[in-house]
Amino acid sequence: MNLIDINYPIFPIRNHTKIYNEFGIIYIETYFKTWIIDNTNLPYNALAKRWFKIEKPYPLTNVIYNITQLINCKFKIFIDNNGKIFNYIKTRNTRLIYKKLINYKANKNGEVALFTKELPYPLYVSTTYFNKYIHDDIYMGLLRYSGGYVLYEITNDKKRDTWKKI
């Protein structure tokens, strides 16, 4: 599964011995118990809505909302918001560059469009995430991925360009 195909939020699956699907119900066996992690027969389109309807579901204790959190996560098996289980293994190195933000514009959907000289298109983040960085200088950490750039982080400090394994 590609990074851009993931439907966030995703949830890491911790230590287990087996994951299997029986008639639309996804089970996970741990060393101590068999849990239900998802029931795709329920009429909801999001994992979280289905998960709350399961009696004693597998405990999803961590949640990952974006690519940065996924890249920095130590787990390798995840379930996305659609109920699709996937392995994420870091296999390639990519350039992480920092560019100065030249302009930003908030829209009515609770998002902020971020503009930099080097990119011909804006990158979007939520207003609540962006508001904590509004100071003098704002820099965007950008990962080169599939012919474009993915926002890795926003910072007030200019960092050195580097490589990141994704």
DSSP 100-115: E--EEEE-TTSEEEEE
What pLDDT does 132 receive?
74
The percentage of residues in the chain with a pLDDT greater than 70, rounded to a whole number, is 99
Which of 11-25, 94-108, 116-130 has the least mean pLDDT?
116-130
Q: How confident is the model at residue 127 (pLDDT cuts 50, 70, 90)?
A: confident
Q: How confident is the model at residue 124 (pLDDT cuts 50, 70, 90)?
A: confident
Strands (E), 16-55: 18-22, 25-29, 34-39
Which of 4-18, 20-34, 70-84, 129-143 has the least mean pLDDT?
129-143
Q: Is the Cβ–Cβ distance between 114 and 125 less than 8 Å? A: yes
What pLDDT does 73 receive?
92
The percentage of residues in the chain with a pLDDT greater than 90, rounded to a whole number, is 56
Which residue from 95, 73, 77, 99 is spatially nearest to 86, judged by alpha carbons?
A: 77
- pLDDT value at 156 more than 90: no
